[in-house]
Amino acid sequence: MTATSSTGMKQDSNVNAGGGHGWPRRGSQAQPHLDGSKFPPSQPVNVNRPINLYPLTNYTFGTKEPLFEKDPSVPARFQRMREEFEKIGMRRSVEGVLLVHEHGLPHVLLLQLGTTFFKLPGGELNAGEDEVEGLKRLLTETLGRQDGIKQDWIVEDTIGNWWRPNFEPPQYPYIPPHITKPKEHKKLFLVQLGEKALFAVPKNYKLVAAPLFELYDNSQGYGPIISSLPQSLCRFSFIYV
């Protein structure tokens, strides 16, 4: 903001003329960073990222053999996490956010187990496995069709990072400052669905389409990660095809 008084304008002129004091003039050379390097030139940013959403009715849902968790109980899960942490370190997990629309509203596809448990499709990565390729593998294992036709999963963008600081259920969208070795890193990716697809759902799960307004601020029903999806997705521009 430029000062309106003549005195202010004169001072501003003197500062600029001195060279090396005050704000650099627009178009001047990049200033050195603290480490001696110069700031890289600015890159164009896509500020209106479009994502195509297709109607729920475009998709066909079949069934396949049940898909069971690796652990029979929550305590068993954390016991296995402890044992693996000693061998390979922090667990890496990935989950996919698959979107459709119904009645002009975005819906997230969720796996429902029983009456109250919901989860995003995904799971644990193998040691050294690439995140995107691992997510594609897990999506195929969870929802991939059974007729031999390869499913095309288009992983668009990262929409969230969650951390488990201890061998306990709580997860956070940051690493607490006193935690030097998180026990799990969970990464959420937006997956662009094709115009039509066939999904094979394990018999012990239901695949439900939950509207964003139902997830919003509803951690009691869906947990902190799924209930935060409306905020994570609001930076995208949805195109209802």
Structure tokens at 151: 């499913």
pLDDT at residue 146, as a whole number: 86
| pLDDT in single tens digits along all 241 residues of the chain | 434 444 444 444 344 444 444 444 444 444 554 455 555 555 665 567 889 999 999 999 999 999 998 999 999 999 999 999 999 999 999 999 999 999 989 999 999 998 889 999 999 999 999 999 999 999 999 999 988 888 889 999 999 999 999 999 999 999 999 999 999 999 999 999 999 999 999 999 999 999 999 999 999 999 999 999 999 999 999 999 9
Structure tokens at 193: 């669905």
pLDDT at residue 49, as a whole number: 80
> Check: CATH 3.90.79.10 for 59-240?
yes
Please state the pTM of the whole predicted model. Answer: 0.80
All structural domains of the chain with their residue ranges: 59-240
pLDDT at residue 39, as a whole number: 53
What is the C-alpha to C-alpha distance for residues 127 and 162, in angstroms, rounded to an integer? 19
pLDDT at residue 38, as a whole number: 56
Residue 152: which of 192, 98, 180 has the closest Cα? 192
Chain centroid, CA 5 distance in Å: 50
- Output the CA torsion 67→73→75→80 (10° steps): -30
SS3 state of residue 68: coil
